[in-house]
């Protein structure tokens, strides 16, 4: 996979969150997360950490473990964004393995 395709996919996920009112920061070097998404104020604030996976390579424990570790340390929701065949995008809550909707 090319760097450009991966970056373009991150931008797609960023726009999905932004359209729903989130403030999104794309992390340089992308380790252990690609996007930090913030919404709300004070006690009602939400933090979502997103790791983007482009292509059909699949998601491994090696991909998920660092995301879960960082999310736990900062009390954030860990989300995997995966681009499947034919361009379909799925977001998965890495804690519960349920579909996540921003």
40 phi and psi, to 5 degrees? 95, -175
92 phi and psi, to 5 degrees? -125, 130
What is the mean pLDDT of each successive set of 10 residues along the chain, which is 102 residues long?
A: 78 96 86 91 86 76 88 94 84 93 91
How far is residue 36's CA from residue 18's CA, in Å, rounded to a whole number?
Answer: 11
* Domains of the chain, each with CATH number or no CATH: 3-93 (3.40.1350.10)
8 A C-beta contact, residue 64 and residue 53: no
pLDDT score, position 33: 92
pLDDT score, position 78: 96
pLDDT score, position 22: 96
pLDDT score, position 63: 77
How far is residue 5's CA from residue 53's CA, in Å, rounded to a whole number?
Answer: 11
Edge-to-edge strand list for the sheet holding 46-54: 23-26, 35-39, 46-54, 77-83, 89-93
pLDDT score, position 56: 58
């Amino acid at each position: 996979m090319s760097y450009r395709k991966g970056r373009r996919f991150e931008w797609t996920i960023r726009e999905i969150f932004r359209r729903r009112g989130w403030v999104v920061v794309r992390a340089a070097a992308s380790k252990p997360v690609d996007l930090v998404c913030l919404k709300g104020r004070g006690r009602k604030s939400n933090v979502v950490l997103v790791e983007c996976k482009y292509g059909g390579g699949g998601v491994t424990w090696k991909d998920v473990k660092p995301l879960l570790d960082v999310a736990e340390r900062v009390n954030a929701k860990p989300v995997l964004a995966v681009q499947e065949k034919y361009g379909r995008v799925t977001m998965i809550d890495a804690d519960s393995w349920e579909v996540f909707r921003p």
